[in-house]
Amino acid sequence: MLHVITIRSPIARGSVRSIEFPSMPSGYRAILPGDIPGRNRIAAFAADIPILAREMVRYVGEPVALIAGPDPIVLESLAEMVKVDCEEEEPAFEWQSFSSSRVVAKRVATAGDPDLAFSITPAVHEETYRSGAMDYSYSEPQGAAAAYDYDKIAIWCATQWPYQVRDSVAQALGCRAEEVSVRPTRLGVHLDGKLWYPSLLACHAAIAAVACGRPAKLMLTRQEDFLYSTKGAQCAVSMRAALGPGNDLLAMDVHIALNVGAYAPLAEEMLSQAVLASTGAYRCPNLRVEGYAVSTNAPPLGAFGGLGAAHALFAIESHANRLASASGEDPADWKARNIAKKGSALMTGEVLREEPPYAQILERLAKASDYRRKHACYELVRKRRSGKSDGPLRGIGLAFAFQAAGQFMSGEKSGTYSVEVGLDKDLKVLIKTSAAAGGSGVLDVWRQTASAALGVPAENVRVAPADTDDSPNSGPITLSRGVTVVNRLVENACAAIQKRRFRDPLPLSARSAYRVPKPITWEDGRVRGSLFDAAAWAGAAVELEIDPWTLEPRPLGLWLCVDGGLIVSPERASSAMRSGCADALGACLSRRLDPGSGKASEYFRHGLPSLAEIPPIAVDFLKPIRKSPAKGIGELPFDTVPAAFLTAISQAAGARFSSLPVPSEDIVRALESA
Amino acid sequence: MRTSDVHYPRDLASALDLLRKRPGALVMAGGTEILREQGGRGISLPPEVVCVHELPELRKAGLTERFLEIGAAATLSEILELGESALPPILAEALSLVANPAIRNLATIGGNIACRARFMDAWPALACLDAIAELRDAGGSTWMNVNRLAGEDRRPAFPEGALVTRFRIPLERWDAYALKKIGPKDYPDPETAVFAFAARVEKGILSEMRLAFAGETAFRSNAAEARMIGLGVPLSEREREAAGEAFRADAAFLPEAQALRFGSLVDAALDLLGR
Amino acid sequence: MTVSFILNGDDVSAKVRSADRLSDLLRDQFGLLGVHSDCRCGRCGRCIVFLNGRLVPSCLVPAFKARAREIVTIEGFSQTQEYRDIADGFRESGMKTCGFCDGPKAMAAAALLERKPRPVAGEILEYMSIVPCRCTDPEALVRAVQAAAESKARRLYRRADK
């Protein structure tokens, strides 16, 4: 087996003039774009990404060549000696002010007459909320391996979408898709970072294997992964809001800038999600939202715990909390009054068919966290405080969010996703789906579903390891599809078997298919497609204290209440929500990335926060209403916790923070200027 | 890929001899400081490496009524295991905040103090305790107060060509102390720093007070400390404010963000004496 | 250089370069893939081994330092009764993990229980930060380690199963 190392662009923007390799010992060779048998491109959603950039490079670290050989340490020394000679152009890193040439996607939504509304209201509240630029900190290192297996080329990698890998590799090798066999390896926590990037690694391993005629394995060091692979996008949401006479939301003017880095495969989806979530679930009769996805010379920046709604929800919830406090009202009450009711038409023109369960969620959350009393108490302390030592530095914040269902991405080719279920003579069930690559959590859900539908014990239900030779294409595994789309397909396939079961002898198998709907499209500022049908809802409360010595925030408690519809496995779901909350809270405490800075030592400055910093987390699920389907809930911690945290730390410090993490020196300044 | 010659001297005398003969050689004990910023597949070491982690002279520990002596190659875990009765609490606190227990099983106290890139977590506590370090080279041995390992430029000034062999830590009674770590805790980040404070009160009078703070640069102000000695405890608000200003003034060299945080730590420490 | 040491109870010997990490030595020359090669800076805990009885990140140990040491990896550790206590406890508590951090988590739990047979939540979370992972549900982890402690105590003191 040969190891493979990537040779990368040293510049953020420009062209490659030449690549000079040192003399290679026997058994070591370089692999260049010319060695790619098929197309030197992968189709990653809406973007066309070079496998090995030949002329133009668009981010520091972009792959331009590979070297392969038997010893990885020798390879590493050789890689250090490679000279990539480039003609450098001025890179574009600025994304909050930009020229139209860098706009990759634009979305506008309007309602009523915001200009008029702003002109007649005295109090306008403005703020820009910044979020994002997160590292995925995957459970496992990234890489891929490729080898001939008789007449096929076998690929091993961890991926959210095995069929994407298969099609990319087939295209790169110029062979038929059936000649590529993708055998997904175990996938840890992915937070949506592995929707397409593994296809790039798989292509690298595949072309190396083909060029060298030997099995090839490419593993990124964590440092390389940190510096050069895809990261969570950066977002700035500028909000201007006007309150009407009853302190209700009268008008909003929102400007969203999303840094999507180079190539921007998911830009449209992310921007759409961000714009659509920018007013939360509040009624806003006069509205203008303008969103821009801006490309820069950072590595491709994409989804992180959801496609983009989290950025907007962070902004609207934080701003709503601030609007309420500015008029001396408890945000919980303000939100209760301003939330859209059943029958309201939202920004998209969609009419809400169900009442958002805000009241029930708030009631349980407030009870569990003692929010009302604490909020009032901490507000009092905040208002009276004149210095650091005047009372405890505590705060509590609430945030409310939804996770929209039925989102599809424009890069999903039209076609069908399917699942196959088989029931054998011994009443053992086998589920086949490419989504099995997604990890053990959701497998239990399918096993329960099949067990219930076919009346067999759950221990008798097995999910076949995902393998593109055998498992049908069930689409990309994002945080919600496993529980919703794929679960429904399992259910339907089982139902089909049940129908035939007492007529036809075992073994029986059935395939259930689902035509990929058109993605939510945007026409004339109106959206086609429903966002809120079967949306999941949640509220979070975060209480924290600022340590009087270090002035660092110390979370004291986190409460999450979720309306996730039918929860197939409550214990499993609670645990998943708690670990999601721990991740989301960790993100509030960790420093952000500077994507594209490419400074090698930055890698060492970013790590997961210590578990000791995570406070007790209480998760509560609302009882589902009858016939409620299972809903995707995985994104909800990221949609709620940051805004709740920002509000809590602002209250504790008596300041108005607008991004996370809050540097302790800013807390000092806020307290000293009180 | 560089190849290094690795030497395992059997005793201190051979180690010192090796270091004399090979002036650029890297001294390696736990190796955590050397390797923590090498994220590549292979590790890169200087051409000559001298391993000292097994030298018997560097692994002894001793306890008398007046001081605790620890060998420089003692790991942080081993030192913590000496326990409450032997280890001054301010030092125990400092060591227990380093990274995580697995790294503490490798990292040595000598390595912590000999770091030239920045001050590591043990320095402020040892400085506060007025610990002394035995430094040896071909010429002989000297005992140096740990405070003198910070240079005029406030950066680490560990002498070239010297090997730290043991530490002697005075065991004194302290009536108030605090040890706080700011910035990222699991990694020696540029923003990471440790604050150490200890005070002694005799017959209602502040008889001794020490305050040290270090990250990439180190702070210790004998002048500001001396001004506090003799004041009656509890300190008045005016006295605390004046002291806070004095310490801040002497710490003006710190980068602004860190200076602000240092100020808060000083205020909180002085508050301890105000009750 | 040649280094001789004890590995999972066996006397072994290996040729190493000064550029080799102990983690890669164990994986590449001894096939011990339970020692992961991951962050390479001592922070992820996926490479931890027992070195003379102490848990250390083997990526921070040059291979040449294995000389005359006793090393136990997860492969060796998983043959012990201590491991079974931990594995039983983890399983009984129902803790789910991503699958990459299990072995290291078991070793960290074992090292903690050696020092603190009845650790409280704060001690567990602090100690288990040796192996940080996004998959971790802190509450489930605390329960799992406490269940492991219980399992170990039951065996040591031959208490009747609950």
Which residue in chain A has the smallest CA separation from C121?
A612
Minimal Cα distance from A611: which residue of C?
C125
Helix (H, G, I), strand (E, B) or coil at B154: coil
**Which residues, including other chains, have CB under 8 Å from residue A456's CB and lie 6 or more apart?**
A423, A427, A428, A429, A450
* A76, A138, A139: best to mutate for the C interface, most C CBs within 10 A: A139
C60–chain A Cβ distance below 8 A for any pair: no
Q: Number of folded domains in chain A? A: 3
B204 lies in some domain: yes
Instruction: Please check whether residues C61 and C101 belong to one and the same domain.
Output: no
Asked whether residue A59 is assigned to any structural domain, the reply reads yes
Q: Are residues A397 and A270 part of one domain?
A: yes
Q: Are A417 and A516 within 8 A, CB to CB?
A: yes
Cα–Cα distance for residue pair A194/A202, rounded to 1 Å = 12
Same domain, C50 and C91: no
Residues in chain A, pLDDT under 50: none
Q: Which chain A residues touch C63 with a CB distance below 8 Å?
A: none
Interacting residues of A183 by C-beta distance below 8 A, sequence separation 6+: A154, A155, A156, A465, A466, A467, A468
Could you tell me which chain C residue has the CA closest to the CA of A604?
C41
The domain that holds A46 is classified in CATH as: 3.90.1170.50
Is the domain of A70 the same as that of A199? yes
**Structural domain boundaries, residue A291:** 231-407+528-672
**Cα–Cα distance list, B23 to B18, B20, B30, B49, B149 (Å):** 8, 6, 20, 11, 20
Task: Give yes or no for B42 touching C (CB within 8 A).
Answer: yes
**Are the beta carbons of C134 and A138 separated by less than 8 Å?**
yes
DSSP labels for A105-144?
Answer: EEEEEEES-HHHHHHH-S-EEEEEEEEE------SS--EE
What pLDDT shows up at residue B1? 75
> Which of chain C's residues have a Cβ under 8 Å away from the Cβ of B187?
43
Q: Give the domain-ending residue among A219, A253, A277.
A: A219
CA dist., res. B162 & res. B173, Å (int): 32
Of C42, C77, C112, the last residue of a domain is C77
Whether C57 and C72 share a structural domain: yes
Give dist(CA C149, CA C82) in Å, integer: 10
Q: Cα(A638)–Cα(A621) distance, rounded to whole angstroms?
A: 17
Whether residues C65 and C6 share a domain: the answer is yes
Residue for token pair 């000999």: B114
Name the β-bridge partners of C5.
C12
Across the interface, which of B181, B260, B268 has its CB nearest the CB of A665? B260
Examine the domain organization and report whether C73 and C101 are in the same domain: no
Structure tokens at A453: 């539908």
**Model's pTM, two decimal places?**
0.96
Instruction: Return the SS3 of A157.
Output: strand
According to the model, what pLDDT value does residue A330 have? 95
Give the closest of C20, C60, C129 to B31, CB-based.
C60
Q: Do B106 and C21 touch (CB under 8 A)?
A: no
Q: Does C144 touch chain A (CB under 8 A)?
A: no
Question: Could you tell me what percent of chain B has a pLDDT over 90?
Answer: 95
CATH code of the domain covering residue B211: 3.30.390.50
Note whether A372 and A420 are same-domain residues. Answer: no
Task: Please report the residues numbered 205 through 264 in chain B whose beta carbons come closer than 8 angstroms to any beta carbon of chain C.
Answer: none
Q: Do residues A69 and A11 share a domain?
A: yes
In sequence order, what DSSP letters do the residues of A9-23 get, joined into one string? -SSSSEEEEEEEPPP
**Token pair of C54 as six digits:** 């102490």
CB-CB neighbors (< 8 A) of B93 in chain A: none
Residues of B in Cβ contact (< 8 Å) with A74: 1
Task: Provide the pLDDT confidence category of residue B224 given band limits of 50, 70 and 90.
Answer: very high
List chain A residues with CB under 8 Å of C39: 222
Taking an 8 Å cut-off on Cβ atoms, the answer to whether A140 and C40 are in contact is: no
Choose one of C26, C60, C77: the last residue of a domain: C77
The answer, for C50 touching chain B at a CB cutoff of 8 Å, is: no
Q: Do A189 and C135 touch (CB under 8 A)?
A: yes
Taking the C-alpha atoms of residue A183 and residue A470, their distance in angstroms, rounded to an integer, is: 10
- Give the pLDDT confidence of B140-153 residue by residue, as tens digits: 999 999 999 999 99
Predicted local distance difference test score (pLDDT) of residue A411: 65
Out of C95, C135, C139, name the one closest to residue A139 (CB).
Answer: C135
- Whether residue A105 lies inside any domain: the answer is no
CB of B49 within 8 A of CB of B90? no
Of B39, B41, B100, the CB nearest to C41: B39
Q: Say whether residue B187 is in contact with chain A using an 8 A CB cutoff.
A: yes
DSSP character string of A511-550: EEEEEPPPPPEEETTEEES-SSTT-EEEEEEEEEEE-TTT
C6 with C73, same domain: the answer is yes
Residue A232, amino acid: G
Find the distance separating the first CA and the last CA of chain B, reported in whole Å. Answer: 61
Q: In what order do the strands lie in the sheet with A553-563?
A: A394-403, A536-546, A553-563, A617-621
Taking the Cβ of residue B32 and every Cβ of chain C, the question of whether any pair is shorter than 8 Å is answered with yes
**Paired tokens of B149:** 């390992």
- Amino acid at residue number B120: M
Using alpha carbons, select from A499, A488, A497 the residue that is nearest to residue A423: A497
Which chains pack against C, by 3+ Cβ pairs within 8 A?
A: A, B
- Yes or no: say if C91 and A130 are a contact pair by the CB < 8 Å rule: no
Q: Work out whether strand A124-132 and strand A2-8 pair parallel, antiparallel, or are unpaired.
A: unpaired
**Interface size, chain A vs chain B, as Cβ–Cβ contacts under 8 Å:** 71
Residue B234 falls within a domain, yes or no? Answer: yes
The count of structural domains within chain C is 2
Do A270 and A288 share a domain, yes or no?
yes
Question: C86 and C28 in one domain?
Answer: no
- Closest partner residue to A140 (CB to CB) among C20, C95, C100 is C100
Q: At what angle do helices C138-156 and C102-115 cross, to 10 degrees?
A: 60
Using a CB–CB cutoff of 8 Å, tell me whether B77 touches chain C: yes
Cβ distance A601 to B37 less than 8 Å, yes or no, reads yes
- Shared domain check, C100 and C55: no
Tens-digit pLDDT profile for residues B54-71: 999 999 999 999 999 999
What span, in angstroms and rounded, lies between the C-alpha atoms of C13 and B45?
22
Give A262→chain C minimum CA distance, Å: 26
Q: C162 pLDDT band (50/70/90 cuts)?
A: low
Same domain, yes or no: C103 and C129: yes
The reply to whether B226 falls in a domain is: yes
Is residue A98 in some structural domain? Answer: no
Contact predicate A498/A509, CB 8 Å: no
Residue of C nearest to B102 (CA): C56
Same domain, yes or no: A237 and A384: yes
Our CA-based measurement puts residue B216 at a distance from the nearest CA of chain C, in whole angstroms, of 20
Nearest CA in chain B to C59: B35
Determine whether the interchain pair B1/C61 forms a contact, defined as Cβ–Cβ distance below 8 Å: no
Chains near A with 3+ CB pairs less than 8 A apart are B, C
**Residue C39: closest C-alpha in chain B:** B39
Q: Nearest Cβ partner of A611 from C41, C95, C136?
A: C136
pLDDT given at position A609: 85
- Which of A191, A219, A247 terminates a domain? The answer is A219
For residue B227, give its domain range. 176-272
Nearest CA in chain C to B36: C41
Range of the domain at C52: 2-77
pLDDT beyond 90 at B16: yes
| Contact status of B257 with chain A (Cβ, < 8 Å) | yes
Q: How far apart are CA C5 and CA C30, in angstroms?
A: 13
Q: Which residues of C touch A603 (CB under 8 A)?
A: 41
Beta strand residue intervals within A158-215, DSSP E:
180-182
Q: How many domains does chain B have?
A: 1
**What CATH number has the domain bearing residue C97?**
1.10.150.120
Using the Cβ of B36 and the Cβ atoms of chain C, whether some distance falls under 8 Å is answered with yes
Whether residues C52 and C101 share a domain: the answer is no
Neighbours of A275 (CB within 10 A): 29
CA–CA min distance C49, chain A (Å)? 18
Q: Is residue B26 part of a domain?
A: no
Final residue of a domain: which of C21, C43, C77? C77
* Distances A138 to A192, A231, A311 between C-alpha atoms, Å: 10, 11, 21
pLDDT tens figures, A499-517:
999 899 999 999 999 888 7
- Using the Cβ of B204 and the Cβ atoms of chain A, whether some distance falls under 8 Å is answered with no
Q: Is B209 a domain residue? A: yes
User: How close does chain A come to B14, measured CA to CA in Å?
Assistant: 32
Both C7 and C71 in a single domain? yes
- Choosing from A456, A480, A515, the residue where a domain stops is A515
Preceding omega of A661 cis (within 30 degrees of 0): yes
Q: Is residue B27 part of a domain?
A: no
Instruction: Mutation target for B interface from C17, C38, C60: give the one with most B CBs within 10 A.
Output: C60
C77 φ, ψ (degrees, to nearest 5): -65, -35
Same domain, A157 and A73: yes
CATH number of the CATH domain containing A457: 3.30.365.10
The radius of gyration of chain B's CA atoms, rounded to the nearest angstrom, is: 19
DSSP secondary structure string, A380-405? HHHHH--STTSS--EEEEEEEEEE-S
Is 80 exceeded by the pLDDT of residue C120? yes
Q: Quick one: pLDDT at residue B195?
A: 98
Structure tokens at B150: 């910070």
Of A137, A186, A575, Cβ closest to residue C140:
A575
The answer to whether A551 contacts B261, with C-beta atoms less than 8 Å apart, is yes
Confidence of residue C121 (pLDDT cuts 50, 70, 90): very high
Tell me if A44 is assigned to some domain: yes
CATH number at residue C53: 3.10.20.30
Torsion sign over Cα C55, C61, C66, C68: negative
Q: Is the model more confident about B160 or about A217?
A: A217
Kindly state whether B240 is in contact with chain A, defined as any CB-CB distance less than 8 angstroms. no
Is C134 within 8 Å of A189 when comparing Cβ atoms?
yes
Residue B267 covered by a domain: yes
Nearest CA in chain C to A142: C38
Task: State how far the Cα of A499 lies from the Cα of A495, in Å rounded to an integer.
Answer: 6
Find tokens 């909000």 and name the residue.
Answer: A239
Q: Is residue A165 part of a domain?
A: yes
Same domain, A466 and A541: no
